[in-house]
Amino acid sequence: MERILVIGCSGQIGSELVLELRKTYGNDNVFATDIKDPPEEIRETGPFQILDVLDYKNLLHFLVRHNITQVYNLAAVLSGNAEKIPLQAWDINMRALMNTLQAAQQSSAKKLFWPSSIAVFGPTTPRHNTPQLTVMEPNTVYGISKLAGERWGEYFFNKYGVDFRSVRYPGLISYKTEPGGGTTDYAVEIFFEAIKNNSYECFLSENTALPMMFMDDAIKNTIKLMDADPDTLSLRSSYNMAGMSFTPKQIADEIRKHHPDFSITYKPDFRQAIADSWPASIDDSVARKDWGLFDEFDIEKLSSTMLFKIEERIT
C-alpha cells in the first residue's frame, strides 16, 4: 500500500495534486504538509500538518512515523521572487531538495517526485522546439537551482537507488490557487483580471512566447510518471514537458472571443529578461515515448475553461 507525503500542499501545484492523489490512493494515505495553511478542501479531506522541509530531523521523523513510501516535494521559491533574494532562494531551493533526497535514502520513502522547470534552459539554448538534451546555461538563480537539482536527483538514483522522477514543467495555469512570484504567472493573472476588470496590464511584452500547460494535464501527467514502470524510464534527470506555446497577445485574442471588450496593455518589467532567456517551445518526444506523456488542453479549451471556472468562483 502506498503512503504519500506531499510537501508544499498549499501552493499552486500541491493544492490540486493532493486532491487528485487522495482520489486514487485514499484520503488517509495522502499526507499534506506545508509551512502555511492549506486551502479548506485539503484540511477537510485528509491529514494535514505544518512541516518545514528545511528541518531535516523532523522530515525524516515524519517519513518513518507514517511509513511513507512516496514523496512529492513541491517547495520552492519561483523565478521572479528568487531574483530578489538570490542567495536565500538558492539556499531554500537546494536545501529543500537535498533534505528529501537524503531522507529518501535513509527511509523507505524511496520514490521521490521533484519538479524541474523550463528555467533550466538559458539564452544559449536553442529557443524553438528545445530538445531534451541540449546546451543548458541558465542565468537565473531559480534556473541554476533547478539544473543543479536535476543533476543531484540523477546522482542519488545512480548512487543510492533513490527512485527520483522529475519533469521540466512549463508555465502552469490554474484557477484554484494562484502561483506566486513566477515569470509565467501573467498567464494566470490575465484570466482573473479579465473577469474582475475586463482589462490587464501585462509584465511581459506582447510577442513573448512561452510553453504553458493547464493544471489538469500537469497533474495527470505527474501521477502518470510516478506510476510508470521504472524500466521504461530512460532518464533519471528530468523530462521535457511542452504543453502548448503562446504569447500574451494570443491569449488576449482568445479572451476577446468571450469578452470582446477586454483590453490589454504591456509594461514589461524585470521578468521580461527571464522570459527572453527561456525556450519559446519544447520538444517532449522522449517523455511521450518513455511513459506516455499526453495533453488534452489547447489554447481554446484552456481559455474557455479558465474564464468559466473563475467566473463561477467569483459570482
**Residues catalogued as catalytic:** 142
Instruction: Give dist(CA 74, CA 237) in Å, integer.
Output: 16
Binding-site size for ligand SER (CB under 6 A) equals: 10
Q: Give the one residue of 17, 78, 209, 242 binding ligand SER; rule: CB under 6 A.
A: 78
Looking at beta carbons only, is 112 or 119 nearer to ligand SER?
119
186 binds ligand SER (CB under 6 A): no
Using alpha carbons only, give the angle 10, 13, 19 rounded to the nearest 5 degrees.
75
List all residues 6 or more positions away from 30 whose beta carbon is below 8 Å from its beta carbon: 4, 6, 18, 21, 22, 46, 47
Applying the rule CB under 6 A, the residues between 130 and 149 that interact with ligand SER are: 142
Stretch binding ligand SER (CB under 6 A), from 92-100, 180-188, 286-294, 301-309: 180-188
Instruction: Give dist(CA 155, CA 157) in Å, integer.
Output: 5
Q: Where are the alpha helices (DSSP H) in 198-229?
A: 215-227
Quick one: cell of 8?
508544499
Strand pairing class (30-34; 48-50): parallel
Q: Give the one residue of 79, 125, 130, 174 binding ligand SER; rule: CB under 6 A.
A: 79
Looking at beta carbons only, is 30 or 173 nearer to ligand SER?
173
Instruction: Give dist(CA 97, CA 87) in Å, integer.
Output: 16
Site string for ligand SER, 222-251 (x = CB under 6 A): ------------------------------
Stretch binding ligand SER (CB under 6 A), from 23-31, 177-185, 188-196, 245-253: 177-185
Q: Give the one residue of 15, 125, 183, 240 binding ligand SER; rule: CB under 6 A.
A: 183
Q: Give the one residue of 169, 186, 214, 239 binding ligand SER; rule: CB under 6 A.
A: 169
Closest by alpha carbon to 217, among 112, 296, 106, 108?
A: 296
Strand pairing class (111-113; 163-165): parallel
Q: Give the one residue of 73, 184, 221, 238 binding ligand SER; rule: CB under 6 A.
A: 184
List all residues 6 or more positions away from 315 whose beta carbon is below 8 Å from its beta carbon: none
> Residue 189 is which amino acid?
E
Stretch binding ligand SER (CB under 6 A), from 62-70, 178-186, 242-250, 285-293: 178-186
Q: Which secondary-structure segment (H or E) carries 102?
A: helix 86-105
Instruction: Give dist(CA 269, CA 108) in Å, integer.
Output: 45
117 binds ligand SER (CB under 6 A): yes
Looking at beta carbons only, is 69 or 238 nearer to ligand SER?
238
Cβ at position 182, least distance to ligand SER in Å: 3
Which spans of this chain sit near ligand SER (rule: CB under 6 A)? 78-79, 117, 119, 142, 169, 171, 182-184
